[in-house]
Chains A and B, each alone.
Chain A
Amino acid sequence: MRSLLALCLAAMPAVAEVPPDRARALEHMVLQDCGSCHGLTMKGGLGRPLTPDALAHAEPGGLALIILDGIPGTAMPPWRPLLTEDEALWIASYLKSKD
């Protein structure tokens, strides 16, 4: 897992550039679609809690990779067909900084 994290940290830029319109759409998607499993307040459901506290020790790059490729053997699907790498990284940073 550690080496996987290192890999994606190397592969991904630290800050994701996403146009404001798209950022609004992503915010809506996190709330509504991620919220289906993780809860609208991100306190968890079928999926784990995704509050800033719960993600305090997670690297944005690692989170982005989980968003893009999912977690095999669980209900977390790969979102790569619907998101770019920048967008996944934006979501990861957004989750970590959300109120």
Chain B
Amino acid sequence: MSELGIALLITLVKIGVLVGLALGVGAYLTWVERKLAGHIQARLGPNVVGPFGLLQPLADGIKLLTKESIIPRGADVPVYYLAVVLALAPAILLFAVIPFGPGFELFGREIKPIIADVNIGLLLIFAMGSLLVYGTIFSGWASNSKYAFIGSLRKAAVIIAYEVVLGFAVLGVVLLAGTLSTVGIVEAQIERGVWFVFYQPVAFILYLFCMLAESGRVPFDIQEAEAELVTGYHVEYGGMRFGVFPLAEWYLNTVALSAIAVVLFFGGWSGPNILGPFSPYFWFLAKTFGLVFFVLWLHWTLPRFQARDITEIAWKIMLPLALVNLVVTAVVLYVLGGE
């Protein structure tokens, strides 16, 4: 088999594993969230289907898949369906540039547990993050519903504001690491023996806000806002088409952005060797799900901002902060001689 064929095969296997894992984890995160929410709210959460309600996501999936498809009158049908794809695809594509661990040798080949180790990894992340908004906008537009439309517009305003902040917040880390490659950033942290969160605490907090805003979690879930907009942009979707939106936005996106936060600020897979070769994966996943847990915890505790406040905070407070952070980082780096 030619070199190219083997490389292609390896990539395909990685993609298969990752998509399977991502969707599975996404589905099971619903269970985790409901269980967690249950315990936060002094109730039990799902406990009927399977032991500890473990089969609940399957039951939900079957229910959603077998539902009748209802498309509202006056809907723009191609765009209506395109929105579903556009919501899911970027969320999964985000995982392409996430390094889960260090490279290892298998049958004499070096394999990196990352699908696309490109030197512009972070740029890709921004690109995918921005693409996500198309799913929302399309669904809001195509549904022919005012609630959905207002919800999607809100989301668009939030994404525009927070993409800018996100970019500037992450630039500090990029300056420190000297690379846009995700693997490079993790290796830079391991090399120095320190996580960037200690060098860039402001950037991390800004990133956290952006993460909440992009994944539409409380306190930034204005596009859903059950009370005002029913559930916002996906109110006219039914069955699995409906299921895809929360899956992509609330779960896949949250996991992906948490993983990226781990890469940027928490040293990726670095950590004491406790499980032999699996240790890096363990650390990576532990950190990621620690962050996911934090997001869920916030979701079930805080009230919601209103749309005006969210964009105001982004443009008036967070963007200047991010800029100052960037300038200070750059100056300090220059003074210390680009260590």
Q: Do A and B bind each other?
A: no
